């Protein structure tokens, strides 16, 4: 929660802020400093507690996490000796810090080993650098699996990224099911026979189904912002006119 003033720091503010010794201070000045401090604490607490909130950064599932159960992208080992890693491009709906991903994956053959969820930056229309990874267990029965990312990679709604997966065991064959809402875009895979290491095959196609969750910055309620501003104004006023109410 960068840029947010810690509440405990505000609770250490002195009651009398550059307004002379306590024997010189009029009771009204005590009250003004006291209430200014209270306003700052209340506003900072409200803003800090709502500094971020969990939300969906991208989602191409249908209602109730619906997806295409019949068609899928290959992940991992194939009969021709390839080992596919496959990724779909996307633009986040919201900017935020990435926390987790969900996708429908079915194990088919080979080792029943975890797959690796990955998020890449875009590099000229193809996957670039890996910015988030998560190991995810899969089931022979298939279904939607979820992985938690560490580090909180930042995503921007103005930028293209790539989400997808690879296997952790070279013998694993799995399927990443397509979305059922007609979401199309650039899809990339590597590991096919005939492709050099690190070379991507790109095509316009139906994207794999997935959802990305994360944290986004909350906008302070106007009333909280007003409390904070009023508290600072009162303190500034006392600094500017320290003896205004003395008799």
**Does pTM surpass 0.85?**
no
Query: Within this chain, do residues 85 and 190 fall inside the same structural domain, yes or no?
Result: yes
Query: Within this chain, do residues 120 and 95 fall inside the same structural domain, yes or no?
Result: yes
Q: What CATH code is carried by the domain that includes residue 118?
A: 2.60.120
The first and second tokens of residue 204, run together, are 């316009």
Would residue 245 count as lying in a domain? no
Given a cut of 90, whether residue 13 has pLDDT beyond it is no
pLDDT per residue as tens digits for the range 19-38: 344 455 555 555 555 655 66
Given a cut of 50, whether residue 9 has pLDDT beyond it is no
Q: Which of 40, 13, 35, 15 is nearest to 25 (CA)?
A: 15
Query: Within this chain, do residues 32 and 128 fall inside the same structural domain, yes or no?
Result: no
Would residue 2 count as lying in a domain? no
More confident residue, 220 or 151: 151
pLDDT per residue as tens digits for the range 158-178: 999 999 999 999 999 999 999
Query: Within this chain, do residues 40 and 119 fall inside the same structural domain, yes or no?
Result: no
Q: What's the rounded Cα separation, in Å, for the pair 181 and 28?
A: 65
Query: Within this chain, do residues 38 and 138 fall inside the same structural domain, yes or no?
Result: no
pLDDT per residue as tens digits for the range 132-156: 999 999 999 999 999 999 888 999 9
Would residue 71 count as lying in a domain? yes
Given a cut of 60, whether residue 98 has pLDDT beyond it is yes
Q: Which domain holds residue 233?
A: 7-51+218-240
Query: Within this chain, do residues 17 and 110 fall inside the same structural domain, yes or no?
Result: no
Query: Within this chain, do residues 118 and 184 fall inside the same structural domain, yes or no?
Result: yes
The first and second tokens of residue 27, run together, are 């009771």
Would residue 1 count as lying in a domain? no
Model pLDDT, residue 4? 34
Would residue 247 count as lying in a domain? no
Query: Within this chain, do residues 129 and 67 fall inside the same structural domain, yes or no?
Result: yes
Query: Within this chain, do residues 87 and 102 fall inside the same structural domain, yes or no?
Result: yes
Q: Which of 117, 106, 102, 111 is nearest to 77 (CA)?
A: 111
Please give the average per-residue pLDDT across 228-244, as a whole number. 56
Provide the number of structural domains found in the chain. Answer: 2
Model pLDDT, residue 18? 44
Given a cut of 80, whether residue 208 has pLDDT beyond it is yes
More confident residue, 244 or 9: 244
């Amino acid at each position: 929660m960068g840029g947010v003033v810690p509440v405990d720091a505000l609770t250490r503010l002195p009651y009398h802020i550059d307004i002379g010794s306590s024997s010189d201070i009029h009771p009204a000045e005590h009250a003004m400093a006291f209430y200014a401090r209270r306003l700052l604490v209340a506003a900072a607490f409200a803003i800090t507690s709502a500094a971020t909130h969990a939300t969906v950064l991208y989602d191409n599932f249908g209602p109730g996490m619906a997806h295409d159960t019949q068609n899928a992208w290959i992940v991992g080992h194939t009969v021709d000796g390839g080992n596919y890693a496959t990724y779909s491009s996307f633009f986040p709906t919201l900017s935020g810090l990435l926390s987790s991903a969900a996708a429908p994956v079915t194990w088919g053959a080979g080792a029943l080993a975890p797959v690796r969820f990955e998020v890449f930056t875009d590099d000229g229309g193809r996957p670039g650098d890996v910015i988030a990874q998560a190991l995810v267990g899969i089931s022979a029965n298939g279904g939607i699996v979820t992985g938690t990312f560490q580090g909180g990679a930042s995503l921007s709604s103005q930028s293209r990224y790539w989400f997808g997966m690879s296997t952790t065991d070279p013998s694993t064959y799995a399927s990443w099911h397509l979305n059922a809402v007609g979401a199309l875009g650039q899809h990339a895979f590597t590991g096919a026979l005939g492709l050099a290491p690190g070379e991507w095959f790109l095509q316009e196609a139906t994207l794999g189904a997935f959802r990305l969750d994360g944290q986004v910055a909350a906008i302070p309620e106007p009333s909280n912002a007003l409390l904070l501003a009023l508290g600072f104004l009162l303190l500034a006023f006392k600094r500017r006119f320290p003896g205004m109410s003395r008799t």
